């Protein structure tokens, strides 16, 4: 790890952006710090601590709810909205993140930007059609589908900060399911599956299915979604959707799981997740 020579603790996001711009790639943001403990970007000699910038909590943006970036996963679990919206999806997924001490430290923004193998929230926010607000010399709003087209660390400028993730408010009845597959309760995932169904009566108006931990970045599986959306799904529709999801994704291979094993995981758990979301 490199040598840190400067520690800055700005009181506003604008001040933090100014420091990042002034240091010209030699400064990095400190939020929860769990990723920096493992990997410090090369050439960095300055930490910019965001703990005093007010990026904590949930804000109503009219058509969306904004979770501020420095909100910890534990804070998210304690919010009533996390239990009430989308069938409690945010609360269930947040409770699956790591262990209690780490949930007290990991921030929502850090989990979305760093996208480590153990990042469980990116796939959930992707399935909910989330967007990230990015503050630099100006502000830009980027859909997560675009944000994860490449690794976020590559698409963010050195003087930009993700300030919040915005989730469109649910319209009508929404049901969901989330599963994290690992060797133990605290193991990082071999696979995460998020299924969300927006319903009109018994018909699914829109379906979102996302996979995490199966590739370096989370991804949606439109081939499976189209087997469910626009109809009253049957058991056969769900089976076809799971098979198409397994066939559409090329899993990563590591020392723990082969590609074939991961494909089988997708087939089994997508089917179970869709059954639960559509129950």
CATH code of the region 173-278: 3.30.390.50
What is the assigned CATH class of domain 6-49? alpha beta
Would you say 7 and 28 are in contact if contact means Cβ atoms under 8 Å apart? Answer: no
Percentages (nearest 5) of helix, strand, coil residues in the chain? 35, 25, 40
Rounded Cα–Cα distance for residues 127 and 130 (Å):
7
The whole-number pLDDT of residue 74 equals 97
Would you say 228 and 234 are in contact if contact means Cβ atoms under 8 Å apart? Answer: no
The whole-number pLDDT of residue 2 equals 60
Domain ranges across the chain: 6-49, 58-168, 173-278
The whole-number pLDDT of residue 18 equals 98
For 82, the token pair is 């996390």
CB atoms within 10 A of CB 235: 10
Return per-residue pLDDT of the chain as tens, 279 residues. 468 999 999 999 999 999 999 999 999 999 999 988 888 888 999 999 999 999 999 999 999 999 999 999 999 999 999 999 999 999 999 999 999 999 999 999 999 999 987 799 999 999 999 999 999 999 999 999 999 999 998 889 999 999 999 999 999 999 999 999 998 877 889 999 999 999 999 999 999 999 999 999 999 999 999 999 999 999 999 999 999 999 999 999 888 899 999 999 999 999 999 999 999
Residue 260's alpha-carbon distances to 214, 215, 247, 267, 271, in angstroms, are: 12, 14, 11, 11, 17
The whole-number pLDDT of residue 184 equals 85
What is the assigned CATH class of domain 58-168? alpha beta
Would you say 155 and 140 are in contact if contact means Cβ atoms under 8 Å apart? Answer: no
Tens digit of each residue's pLDDT (9 = 90 or more) over 73-104: 999 999 999 999 999 999 999 999 999 999 99
Q: Write down the mean pLDDT value for the chain.
A: 95
Tens digit of each residue's pLDDT (9 = 90 or more) over 219-242: 999 999 999 999 999 999 999 999
Domains 6-49 and 58-168 share a fold: no
């Amino acid at each position: 790890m490199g040598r840190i020579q400067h520690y800055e603790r700005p009181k506003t996001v604008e001040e933090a952006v100014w420091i990042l711009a002034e240091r010209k790639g030699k400064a990095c943001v400190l939020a929860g710090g769990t990723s920096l403990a493992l990997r410090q970007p090369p050439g960095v000699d300055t930490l910019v601590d965001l703990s005093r910038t007010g990026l904590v909590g949930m804000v109503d943006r009219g058509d969306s709810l904004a979770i501020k970036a420095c909100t910890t996963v534990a804070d998210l679990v304690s919010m009533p909205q996390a239990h009430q919206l989308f069938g409690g999806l945010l609360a269930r997924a947040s409770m699956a993140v790591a262990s209690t001490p780490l949930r007290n430290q990991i921030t929502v923004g850090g989990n979305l930007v760093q996208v480590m193998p153990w990042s469980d929230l990116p796939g959930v926010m992707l399935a909910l059609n989330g967007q990230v607000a990015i503050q630099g010399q100006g502000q830009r709003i980027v859909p997560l589908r675009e944000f994860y087209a490449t690794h976020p660390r590559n698409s963010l400028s050195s003087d930009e900060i993700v300030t919040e993730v915005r989730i469109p408010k649910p319209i009508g009845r929404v049901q969901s399911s989330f599963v994290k597959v690992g060797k133990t309760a605290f193991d990082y995932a071999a696979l995460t599956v998020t299924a969300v169904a927006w319903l009109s009566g018994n018909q699914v108006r829109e379906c979102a299915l996302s996979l995490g931990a199966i590739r370096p970045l989370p991804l949606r599986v439109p081939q499976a979604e189209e087997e469910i959306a626009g109809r009253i799904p049957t058991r056969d529709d769900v089976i076809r959707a799971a098979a198409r999801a397994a066939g559409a994704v090329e899993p990563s291979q590591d020392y723990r799981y082969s590609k074939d094993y991961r494909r089988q995981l997708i087939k089994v758990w997508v089917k179970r997740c869709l059954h639960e979301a559509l129950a």
